[in-house]
Amino acid sequence: MVDPGHFERHAAVYAGARPPYPDALWDELLRAGYLTPGRRVLELGAGTGLATGPLLAAGLGVTAVEPGPRLAERLRAAHPAATVVVARAEDVDHGEDTYDLAVAATSVHWLDLDVVLPAVHRALRPGGAFLVWRNVFGDRAVRTPFRARVEEVVARRTRPARPGPDAEDAAATVAALKRSGLFRADPVRTFRWSVDLDEDQVRRLFTTFSDWTPDEVEAVARAVRDLGGVVTEHYLSWLVALHPVRHGGIGRGRASFSQA
């Protein structure tokens, strides 16, 4: 079963195992005017700082909320300029008109949106935006022998599929984010990219995935070996900018989905 403590248990490998977000995503945020130096950002579920680093490098002031103490320790060490709050996003008072931006980088699916969305809405200044993006590790549009082996491993699972929208299903996540009526959403942007990984990199990366068992990780590491020692993985990242709706609609419907 997936649980949010998974990342904390793998804090030591997380930063080195997960690839950085693609340059095209950062270029888009820059082009759209979100990365203006001096802006204050609330980052939810910052992990070891894969998004925190580029946000700081762009000149933004980052308050990073991360519930895992070991992850937070690594985040602080790697990014001393960030203000790190060790807590669940649901348990922090983010204030009112405090931030120009909120960010959830591959973390929105861990949040209780019924609690977090009203808090983010309140915390954003007029003109602010909630930027939500997610890496999808495995672009279904690109078939590869390695992906076929990954699918074989997944097909053998007998445990129930994890709840919540599929990672690649940005539309379902955006629908959940809009359901409260607190935010309107820009069109989703998608970025496709690839990375070459050797056996050890695959082992470390898949270890960080919350729904993979150690035996399954070894099976895909073996697949890399069988396929010549290096595989090209095709990924996609999607990004959506949400803008607070200031009049009407507040509090309508339920917005949560459970962890995925």
Using CB under 6 A as the criterion, which residues of the chain lie in contact with ligand SAM when the complex forms? 4, 7, 18, 44-47, 50-51, 65-68, 71, 88-90, 105-107, 110-111
In the bound complex, what is the minimum distance in angstroms from residue 248's beta carbon to ligand SAM? 28
Residue in 107, 73, 71, 112 with CA at minimum distance from that of residue 91: 112
In the bound complex, what is the minimum distance in angstroms from residue 25's beta carbon to ligand SAM? 11
C-beta of residue 43 within 8 angstroms of C-beta of residue 63: yes
Give the residue with the Cβ less far from ligand SAM, 67 or 165.
67
Give the residue with the Cβ less far from ligand SAM, 20 or 214.
20
Question: DSSP labels for 173-184?
Answer: HHHHHHTTSSEE
- Amino acid at site 56: L
In the bound complex, what is the minimum distance in angstroms from residue 106's beta carbon to ligand SAM? 4
In the bound complex, what is the minimum distance in angstroms from residue 38's beta carbon to ligand SAM? 22
Give the residue with the Cβ less far from ligand SAM, 107 or 201.
107
Give the residue with the Cβ less far from ligand SAM, 32 or 209.
209
Q: Which residues does residue 99 pair with via DSSP β-bridges, in sequence order?
A: 124
Classify 116 as helix, strand or coil: helix
In the bound complex, what is the minimum distance in angstroms from residue 206's beta carbon to ligand SAM? 13
Give the residue with the Cβ less far from ligand SAM, 53 or 244.
53
Residue in 92, 93, 100 with CA at minimum distance from that of residue 66: 92
d(CA 220, CA 155): 13
d(CA 204, CA 18): 8
